[in-house]
């Protein structure tokens, strides 16, 4: 084949037609892929995240969905100052710029107060130690109930007017009353048994004779 014949074949209309058709197909495919990605990723559509903190779960979902965003409950926590089911935290934060359809992760307040076991503090710690330990767990401490006993020593624990013991589960924010020893001897003297034991002996108690005139067994 001569060079002239070769150039004549590659410049034939049918070949150029095929190349043009292939190019057109590639362009159409490229445009289709680009448009599809643009629709899938919502290219250029930016949304400012609404603030749904303190909103109930249903209201938070409605607000986010209306803005074109998804609400996802990621976790729960407990805050005694917020109503049950209220949104405590959200990620991304309010005002962040995201694309439509972006997931907003929510942390909500538990619908029931969590409970924890009562530690072993009755007859096992001073009032200062007991209060520090209970407060670190989240309990609240009410005015103590003073009873007979060693001063500032914890003898019992009450919640709601009843005695509670180590291992009993109480609400996390329960208000605790500690039974604390007063350390006052007057408290002991008020007891009939203690008063008898502390009574000062009279002269008659040491009399060597009985009513019959016989000597006591303790006479020497």
pLDDT tens-digit map of 68-113: 999 999 999 988 889 999 999 999 999 999 999 999 999 999 988 8
pLDDT band at 212 (very low <50, low <70, confident <90, very high): very low
pLDDT band at 20 (very low <50, low <70, confident <90, very high): confident
Residue 192: which domain range?
A: 115-197
pLDDT tens-digit map of 32-56: 777 666 655 555 578 999 999 999 9
Q: How many domains does the chain divide into?
A: 2
Decide if 94 is inside a domain. Answer: yes
Please state which of the ranges 22-31, 70-79, 150-159, 179-188 shows the lowest mean pLDDT.
Answer: 179-188
Q: Is 177 found in the same domain as 142?
A: yes
Average pLDDT, the chain: 80
What is the number of alpha carbons within 13 Å of residue 210 lying toward its C-beta?
6
Pairing type for strands 97-99 and 46-48 reads antiparallel
Distance separating the N- and C-terminal Cα atoms of the chain? 158
83, 109, 135 — which closes off a domain?
109
Tokens of 79: 């805050």
Decide if 21 is inside a domain. Answer: no
- Tell the residue number behind the tokens 């197909």, with chain if given: 25
Burial of 37 (0-12, 13-18, 19+ CB in 10 A): exposed
55, 78, 109 — which closes off a domain?
109
Decide if 179 is inside a domain. Answer: yes
- Does the pLDDT value for residue 122 go beyond 70? yes
Decide if 29 is inside a domain. Answer: no
Please state which of the ranges 9-13, 105-109, 206-210 shows the lowest mean pLDDT.
Answer: 206-210
- Per-residue burial over 51-72, b = 16 or more CB atoms within 10 Å of its CB, e = otherwise: ebbebbbeebbebbeebebebe
Q: Is 87 found in the same domain as 126?
A: no
- Per-residue burial over 138-173, b = 16 or more CB atoms within 10 Å of its CB, e = otherwise: ebeeeebeeebbeeebbbbbebeeeebeeeeebbee
- Does the pLDDT value for residue 166 go beyond 80? yes
Rg (CA), the chain: 43
Task: Give how far Cα 194 sits from Cα of 29, 148, 155, 186, 198, Å.
Answer: 102, 12, 19, 10, 6
* Residues pairing with 140 in the sheet: 175
pLDDT band at 15 (very low <50, low <70, confident <90, very high): low
Please state which of the ranges 24-33, 50-59, 133-142 shows the lowest mean pLDDT.
Answer: 24-33
- This prediction's pTM: 0.52
- Does the pLDDT value for residue 16 go beyond 80? no
Decide if 17 is inside a domain. Answer: no
Q: Which of 8-12, 65-69, 110-114, 204-208 has the highest mean pLDDT?
A: 65-69
Look at residue 169 and give its three-state secondary structure: strand
């Amino acid at each position: 084949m001569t060079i002239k014949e070769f150039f004549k074949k590659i410049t034939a209309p049918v070949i150029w037609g095929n190349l043009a058709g292939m190019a057109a197909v590639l362009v159409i495919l490229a445009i289709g892929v680009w448009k599809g990605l643009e629709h899938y990723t919502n290219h250029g559509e930016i949304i400012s995240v609404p603030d749904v903190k303190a909103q109930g779960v249903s209201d938070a979902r409605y607000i986010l969905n209306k803005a074109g965003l998804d609400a996802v409950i990621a976790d729960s926590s407990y805050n005694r100052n917020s109503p049950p089911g209220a949104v405590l935290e959200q990620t991304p934060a309010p005002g962040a710029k995201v694309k439509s359809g972006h997931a907003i992760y929510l942390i909500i307040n538990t619908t029931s107060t969590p409970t924890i076991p009562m530690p072993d503090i009755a007859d096992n710690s001073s009032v200062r130690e007991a209060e520090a330990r209970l407060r670190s767990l989240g309990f609240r401490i009410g005015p103590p109930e003073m009873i007979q006993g060693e001063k500032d020593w914890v003898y019992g624990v009450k919640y709601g007017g009843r005695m509670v013991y180590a291992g009993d589960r109480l609400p996390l924010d329960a208000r605790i009353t500690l039974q604390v020893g007063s350390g006052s001897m007057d408290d002991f003297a008020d007891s009939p048994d203690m008063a008898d034991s502390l009574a000062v002996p009279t002269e008659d108690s040491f009399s060597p004779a009985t009513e019959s005139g016989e000597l006591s067994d303790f006479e020497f």
